[in-house]
Amino acid sequence: MIKVLKNSVYILLLAVVVAACGAPSVPSSFDKTAKSVTIYPDYKDVTVPCNIAPLVYAIQEQGDEFVTRFSAQGTSVVVGGKDVVPQIEEWRTLLQSANGANINVETFVRKGKRWSACKTFEIAVSPDSIDTYISYRLIPPSYVAYEQLTINQRNLTNFDEQVIYNNMLAATESEGSCINCHAYKNYRTDNMQFHIRQGNGGTLFIHNGEPVKLNMATDSTLSPGVYPAFNPVYDVVAYSVNKTGQIFHTVKTNKVEVQDVASDVIVYNPVANTVANVANGPNDLEVFPWWSPDGRTLYYGSAHFEVIDTANTVMKEEIIRHQEIKYDILRRSWNPDTFEFGEVDTVFAATKLGKSATFPRISPDGRFLLFALGEYGCFHVWHHDADLYLQELATGEYWPLGEANSEYAESYHSWSSNARWILFSSRRDDTNYTRLYIAHVDAGGKASKAFVLPQQSPDYYPLFDRSYNVPEFMVEPVRFTPQEFAEIIKGEAKKVQYSPTGK
Amino acid sequence: MDNTNGNKERQHSVDADALRAKGNKAERTLLQKVLCNMPLIFCVAVWALLAFYERDLLLRLDMQSLFLFDNLFFESSMSVPAGLLGYVGCFLTQFFYYPALGAAIFVALLALVYLLTRKAFNIPARWAFVAMVPMFLLLAADVQLGYWIYYIKYPGYWYVATLGTIVGLLAIWGFNKASYKFHAVIILAWSVIGYPLFGFFALFSSICMAVIALSQALRNGNRMRVIFDGVTLLLIALVLAYEVPLFCYNFVYDSTAIDFMHLAGLPAYHWDVRATHFLKSIYPYWIPFVLLFLFQLVLSVYYNRLSPKETAAKRINLFKWLLMPAMVVFVFFYWFKNTNFRIENRQDTAMWEGNWRKVADLARGTGEPSRQIVLNRNIALLHLGKAGEEMFTYPEGSADIDAPIAVHLTHTGGVMSYWCYGKFNFAYRWCVENAVERGWKVEYLKHAVRSLLLNGEYKLVKRYTNILKHTLFYADWAERYERLADNPESIAKVPEFAFPMQMRVYPDILDVDESFVEAYLLNNLAGGYTTSHSLLHAEAALMSSLIRKDSKSLWTNFSRYLHKRKIMRLPTHYQEAALLFSSISRSVDISNLPIEEGVKLRFNAFMRKTKDYKGMKEEEMAPHFKKDFGDTYWYFYFFVRKIKTN
């Protein structure tokens, strides 16, 4: 009986404390100011999908108390505190109310006894939904060394994040392994792959739900497969094969140059377990293949580089002349019946502009080519001048994605399955750590202001010591566990054969 | 004997001890009193050794660690089994910022290990010295590290084993206090809950509990109790010790390989058993740990069996006199006492303090220096403007690093060297490379902030100052640098930056150091990669030519140096070099150089002496020249050979 009484007192006390704290409310009187509120991350005047996770941010203003009111079409959510953390259910209700319209965000700041209201900003809610999942690799902004790397998947409608694979699961101190280049067929995970380099090296390849570890090295190709592109229709995967080196700037803040001494494009036929060369010109560096949505055209970046003996090795010559290596975007038709490729066609001649275009990605509706354009080289993630560009394939007209770009590197990008959202990495936050940004692209190819992938805490990015790279959309999660992958990775790899025809 | 009887017997032994102690008090000699306070002596001695003798090691340990008051840091720490040990270990390591305080905390925890060992294994007063063994072993496990402090990847290593032992002892103590009815539940609960937090230490203490139960059951002779309270519990503990990590591997954690799950909390991954050099070099690092666990197992077997009787006193004393000196010798043997390692740490502290005279003077304290010591010394002499006068008066060489692993300057003091020589991108690069492999440490963060600040990357500076602002002791430092990032025009007024900024006079090129800091710096400086020739840079270039014994670059750098130098007197070593190289090549006219008569006379004497010893090998000649010419460039040129730059 005494225990019951004691518990009742505790509950009562708790209720009093909760009541005393109270729910946040908008002040009854305040001064209106023209001052725009400073927030981090910057979600002001962005366009978000109708199914995105709550936008959590911190108000970076001086004040004693803060209240934020989100309102849309008669629904309003009030959040107290300097860290603005809307509850997920309230946020969803808000998104539903504002679908196709705007959420108005009012910020009230109390200094002493006086409340003031900052200038209202808006968040546009697009009726275009975004794919539920994305995946990315988390890696320190590394140069050469690596230790723990993970490939993660994240649910964009909430904050759930899971590890797809962690390289430490099959690593020892004396034999570590690097993991990279996860890719999926048609945004689904029953056909996917990622590579493991060095210890337990190979390619973890899932074909129609069956995982296998491949050894893609052959005597007739430059290297095992590197940058992959699943054909969205047919059972082939294009890869670039690369001999890559890294070299470091002594002064420039770009820090690193990643260069290919040689690179070609190959295709892998998972049914026959064979590879074939596609583009391997002796003085050409071909890289970053990508298929058209109908699966009948292969796009890739290509640079023409002739050695003129300014140094004793090609690598050294490339180092000296690194600013001369510029890539165009080419394409070749492909016949799925004969496995034959057509003539080379230049899609975007960046070299004529004195620039370098890499990483072609065709929108799933087939209308646009999205690529990164910088001054030179192919690894634009280290080039602050690199920006995203869009080209309308039907007209050849191209333009920078002005609202989505920043003064720092924008690179690795991918399209959502409905061709309305792009996801890309950017170094704009602190110049060194890549973060994922999302931007809406309308039917006319105009991009909205990009917003950073929402996290549960505004402190997350400033303290998180990993870069996000290789962001890819998915419509379903990977279903294998990291431990299941580890067992396969520790096993023997199946050898891939070379076939000149690719069949 | 059931549990009640056991408690009575314990009570009896404690009472007997107390009475004996009371009766003998008056008769105790001073020596006996001292011996009674052996744990106290141990604690005071260890504290003094750590706080003073190892002051710079403790400071470096703090710099090679990081603890952030932040949820993300906590979550990240807890993402591996035994994560709590690492988290608390990092928390405590930060107090080495004040070596005396940090040492006191560490010693207090060792004292707690002693007290808990007595409690957990019910060790009577007469045998209390036995409880000191874990203190010695835990100390040895830490002070053995040496150059591993740059390579060990276990956060909070210094404290992990001590903390793990403490929680294990607490659990055993609690187990012994509980009724036997709860023994199985306790072992089950402790293994399941304790493993994620404390890893191997929880599993091992569960096994100790079972061994104690078995030992007690065997002692009282009740067959049923032997089977249930002993064998069954031991089986449960062993099965749990095997299965709980496997369960956690499959369902809880995703960042630890299965091979290392059972040993979570121990530096098993870092001293990888599959490393080829394991038997030769790595194995001894395990010995303190192995002895610690074996010892606890022995104490579990002997739970309640150590005799408190008077008759055993002589034998106990004999055992004490054998054991304690043996432990002291053991720790002495394990204590990493390498002179160069100690000098490097002291130099590092002095460099952060800007005490360049001390940095240079410390370089005299070794027979053969490591290249890090030489690099630091030369930077200090450049700062002091004494390079041309003193550089070749110090001990020279390239002593092997006393470590079973390849130790590179890039991982130890190379970042500081790069920063001093204005190679900010390379300094930052190695901060990041090292952080990638071992996680961010205070040292990397501070170097990153300084490098980026002088490279004009203010946005990135603020990222790292923001992290440092979440530490206990570096927030003020971070705020000071953040203010500089906010007001870049004030950077030029900071005296600390004058030297590196004068060295940053080179164009952007693509380059790589292949992890050889000194070789890269020497080649780069001597090679004349510069856009303007400050006197400091010109002198550094000339120094590099002298160290490389490179006549090709020497005269170019000599003329640059002379051109920039306004004071007429040429430093002695440069005069020596000019005389030597002109006599070798004979094509260079140095008649216009201000070579002093004394230097010329000494050079002639040197050359005459070389003729006297003609036909002898260099290594045979060297001792004869050392006394008269050991402070000259000529000695360095002819007799300091096979320098392995790093």
Is A353 a member of any domain? yes
Once rounded to an integer, what is the mean pLDDT over residues A451-478?
A: 96
Once rounded to an integer, what is the mean pLDDT over residues B470-487?
A: 97
| The pLDDT value given to residue B510 | 92
The answer, yes or no, to whether the previous bond of A500 is cis (omega within 30 of 0) is no
Q: Regarding beta strands A435-440 and A356-362, do their DSSP bridges make them parallel or antiparallel, or are they unpaired?
A: unpaired
* d(CA B423, nearest CA chain A) in Å: 7
* Chain B CA closest to residue A429: B459
B22 compared with B612, residue with greater pLDDT: B612
A116-130, A328-342, B355-369, B393-407: which range is least confident on average?
B393-407
Is B419 a member of any domain? no
Please check whether residues A182 and A205 belong to one and the same domain.
yes
DSSP assignment, residue B529? -
A-facing residues of B in 457-476 (CB < 8 A) are 457, 459-460, 462-463, 466-467, 470
Domain boundary among B372, B407, B442: B407
Do A462 and B463 count as a contact with CB atoms less than 8 A apart?
yes
Q: Under 8 Å CB-to-CB from B616, ≥6 apart: which residues?
A: none
Chain A residue numbers touching B436 (CB-CB < 8 A): 140, 142, 145-147
Tell me what the pLDDT averaged over chain B comes to: 89
Q: Where are the beta strands (DSSP E) in B503-625?
A: 510-511
Chain A residue numbers touching B461 (CB-CB < 8 A): none
Is A294 a member of any domain? yes
* d(CA A58, nearest CA chain B) in Å: 15
B340 pLDDT more than 90: yes
What does each C-alpha distance from A381 to A20, A256, B437, B455 come to in angstroms?
51, 10, 22, 20
* Chain B CA closest to residue A166: B255
A4 pLDDT more than 50: no
pLDDT band at B505 (very low <50, low <70, confident <90, very high): confident
What does each C-alpha distance from B546 to B154, B522, B631, B639 come to in angstroms?
42, 10, 14, 14
* Chain B CA closest to residue A462: B463
Chain A residue numbers touching B429 (CB-CB < 8 A): 143, 248, 255
Is B630 a member of any domain? no
Taking the Cβ of residue A261 and every Cβ of chain B, the question of whether any pair is shorter than 8 Å is answered with no
**Residue range A39-93, pLDDT digits in tens:** 999 999 999 999 999 999 999 999 999 999 999 988 999 999 999 999 999 999 9
Please check whether residues B34 and B175 belong to one and the same domain.
yes
Which range of residues forms the domain containing residue B353? Answer: 338-407
Once rounded to an integer, what is the mean pLDDT over residues B405-430?
A: 95
- CATH classification at residue A86: 2.60.40.10
Taking the Cβ of residue B73 and every Cβ of chain A, the question of whether any pair is shorter than 8 Å is answered with yes
Between CA B504 and CA B540 the distance in angstroms is 12
Domain boundary among B334, B352, B371: B334
Between CA B208 and CA A127 the distance in angstroms is 63
Chain A residue numbers touching B457 (CB-CB < 8 A): 253, 431-432
Q: Decide: helix, strand or coil at residue B2.
A: coil
Please check whether residues B317 and B343 belong to one and the same domain.
no
Please check whether residues B257 and B289 belong to one and the same domain.
yes
Taking the Cβ of residue B437 and every Cβ of chain A, the question of whether any pair is shorter than 8 Å is answered with yes
Which residues are registered as beta bridge partners of B384?
none
Between CA B156 and CA B149 the distance in angstroms is 11
Taking the Cβ of residue A432 and every Cβ of chain B, the question of whether any pair is shorter than 8 Å is answered with yes
Which residues are registered as beta bridge partners of A121?
A105
Please check whether residues A236 and A343 belong to one and the same domain.
yes
Is A109 a member of any domain? yes
Chain A residue numbers touching B456 (CB-CB < 8 A): 253
Which residues are registered as beta bridge partners of A114?
A111
Is A59 a member of any domain? yes
Chain B residue numbers touching A143 (CB-CB < 8 A): 429, 432-433
The answer to whether B426 and B513 have CB atoms below 8 angstroms apart is yes
| The pLDDT value given to residue B272 | 55
* d(CA B510, nearest CA chain A) in Å: 5
Between CA A501 and CA A503 the distance in angstroms is 5
Please check whether residues A236 and A87 belong to one and the same domain.
no
User: Which DSSP string do the residues of B92-146 spell out, in sequence order?
Assistant: HHGGGGSHHHHHHHHHHHHHHHHHHHHHHTT--GGGGGGGGHHHHHHHHHHHT-G
Size of interface A-B (CB pairs under 8 A): 130
How many domains, chain A? Answer: 2
Taking the Cβ of residue A253 and every Cβ of chain B, the question of whether any pair is shorter than 8 Å is answered with yes
Domain boundary among A126, A154, A170: A126
Please check whether residues B98 and B116 belong to one and the same domain.
yes
Is B566 a member of any domain? no
Domain boundary among B301, B318, B334: B334
The CA-based angle B74-B77-B79, given to 5 degrees, is 110
Chain A residue numbers touching B438 (CB-CB < 8 A): 147
Chain B residue numbers touching A173 (CB-CB < 8 A): 153, 269-272, 275
Once rounded to an integer, what is the mean pLDDT over residues A367-377?
A: 97
Please check whether residues B114 and B213 belong to one and the same domain.
yes
Percent with pLDDT over 90 in chain B: 71
Query: Least CB-CB distance to A173: which of B68, B250, B269?
Result: B269
Chain B residue numbers touching A480 (CB-CB < 8 A): none
| Backbone Cα Rg of chain B | 31
* Chain A CA closest to residue B437: A147
A301 pLDDT more than 50: yes
Phi, psi of A355 (to 5 degrees): -120, 180
Is A223 a member of any domain? yes
Please check whether residues A212 and A296 belong to one and the same domain.
yes
A19-23, A356-360, B374-378, B594-598: which range is least confident on average?
A19-23
Between CA B518 and CA B507 the distance in angstroms is 20
Chain A residue numbers touching B154 (CB-CB < 8 A): none
Q: Regarding beta strands A161-166 and A177-185, do their DSSP bridges make them parallel or antiparallel, or are they unpaired?
A: unpaired
Residue for token pair 């470590």: B403
Chain B residue numbers touching A433 (CB-CB < 8 A): 463
Please check whether residues B260 and B314 belong to one and the same domain.
yes
* Chain B CA closest to residue A143: B433
DSSP assignment, residue A42? -
How many domains, chain B? Answer: 2
The answer to whether A445 and A451 have CB atoms below 8 angstroms apart is no
Taking the Cβ of residue B531 and every Cβ of chain A, the question of whether any pair is shorter than 8 Å is answered with no
Is B172 a member of any domain? yes
Is A20 a member of any domain? no
Query: Least CB-CB distance to A166: which of B255, B429, B508?
Result: B255
Domain boundary among A110, A126, A142: A126
Taking the Cβ of residue B258 and every Cβ of chain A, the question of whether any pair is shorter than 8 Å is answered with yes
Please check whether residues B322 and B378 belong to one and the same domain.
no
Percent with pLDDT over 90 in chain A: 84
pLDDT band at A2 (very low <50, low <70, confident <90, very high): very low
**Residue range B445-466, pLDDT digits in tens:** 999 999 999 999 999 999 999 9
A4-13, A429-438, B387-396: which range is least confident on average?
A4-13
Please check whether residues A121 and A191 belong to one and the same domain.
no
Is A22 a member of any domain? no
A167-171, A306-310, A329-333, B374-378: which range is least confident on average?
A306-310
Once rounded to an integer, what is the mean pLDDT over residues A179-190?
A: 96
Please check whether residues A153 and A53 belong to one and the same domain.
no
Is B266 a member of any domain? yes
**Optimal mutation site among B152, B246, B253, B254, interface A, most CBs of chain A within 10 A:** B254
Q: Decide: helix, strand or coil at residue A17.
A: helix
Please check whether residues B205 and B243 belong to one and the same domain.
yes
Please check whether residues B195 and B256 belong to one and the same domain.
yes
pLDDT band at B8 (very low <50, low <70, confident <90, very high): very low
**Residue range B234-283, pLDDT digits in tens:** 999 999 999 999 999 999 999 999 988 999 999 865 555 444 444 455 67
Once rounded to an integer, what is the mean pLDDT over residues A125-150?
A: 92
Between CA B105 and CA B88 the distance in angstroms is 13
**Residue range A93-107, pLDDT digits in tens:** 999 999 999 999 999
Chain A residue numbers touching B470 (CB-CB < 8 A): 463
Taking the Cβ of residue A308 and every Cβ of chain B, the question of whether any pair is shorter than 8 Å is answered with no
Is B368 a member of any domain? yes
Is A69 a member of any domain? yes
Please check whether residues A226 and A287 belong to one and the same domain.
yes
Query: Least CB-CB distance to A255: which of B70, B425, B438?
Result: B425
In this structure, what token pair is assigned to residue B174? 């609690």
Which residues are registered as beta bridge partners of A368?
A392
A362 pLDDT more than 90: yes
| The pLDDT value given to residue B10 | 47
Domain boundary among A103, A126, A149: A126
Between CA B99 and CA B282 the distance in angstroms is 28
Please check whether residues A202 and A252 belong to one and the same domain.
yes
Please check whether residues A87 and A140 belong to one and the same domain.
no
Taking the Cβ of residue B318 and every Cβ of chain A, the question of whether any pair is shorter than 8 Å is answered with no
B615 pLDDT more than 90: no
Do A433 and B259 count as a contact with CB atoms less than 8 A apart?
no
B-facing residues of A in 73-92 (CB < 8 A) are none
Taking the Cβ of residue A318 and every Cβ of chain B, the question of whether any pair is shorter than 8 Å is answered with no
| Backbone Cα Rg of chain A | 25
B16 pLDDT more than 50: no
| 3-state DSSP of A316-354 | HHHHHCHHHCCEEEEEEEEECCCCEEEEEEEEECHHHHC
The CA-based angle A453-A457-A459, given to 5 degrees, is 95
Do B436 and A173 count as a contact with CB atoms less than 8 A apart?
no
| The pLDDT value given to residue B270 | 57
- CATH classification at residue A143: 2.120.10.30
Tell me what the pLDDT averaged over chain A comes to: 92
Taking the Cβ of residue B337 and every Cβ of chain A, the question of whether any pair is shorter than 8 Å is answered with no
Do A168 and B255 count as a contact with CB atoms less than 8 A apart?
yes
Question: What ipTM was predicted for this assembly?
Answer: 0.91
In this structure, what token pair is assigned to residue A93? 């209700």
In this structure, what token pair is assigned to residue B423? 């190679």
Please check whether residues A195 and A122 belong to one and the same domain.
no
Please check whether residues A207 and A90 belong to one and the same domain.
no
Is B205 a member of any domain? yes
Q: Under 8 Å CB-to-CB from A454, ≥6 apart: which residues?
A: A41, A52, A53, A54, A55, A56, A159
B294 pLDDT more than 70: yes
Between CA A242 and CA A248 the distance in angstroms is 19
Please check whether residues B386 and B283 belong to one and the same domain.
no
| The pLDDT value given to residue A280 | 85
**Optimal mutation site among A85, A253, A261, interface B, most CBs of chain B within 10 A:** A253
Please check whether residues A212 and A65 belong to one and the same domain.
no
Do A486 and B457 count as a contact with CB atoms less than 8 A apart?
no
User: Which DSSP string do the residues of B419-484 spell out, in sequence order?
Assistant: HHTT-HHHHHHHHHHHHHHH---HHHHHHHHHHHHHTT-HHHHHHHHHHHTTSSSSHHHHHHHHHH
**Residue range A385-421, pLDDT digits in tens:** 999 999 999 999 999 998 999 999 999 999 999 999 9
Which range of residues forms the domain containing residue A107? Answer: 36-126
Please check whether residues B342 and B274 belong to one and the same domain.
no
Please check whether residues B103 and B175 belong to one and the same domain.
yes
B-facing residues of A in 443-472 (CB < 8 A) are 457, 459-460, 462-465
A214 pLDDT more than 80: yes
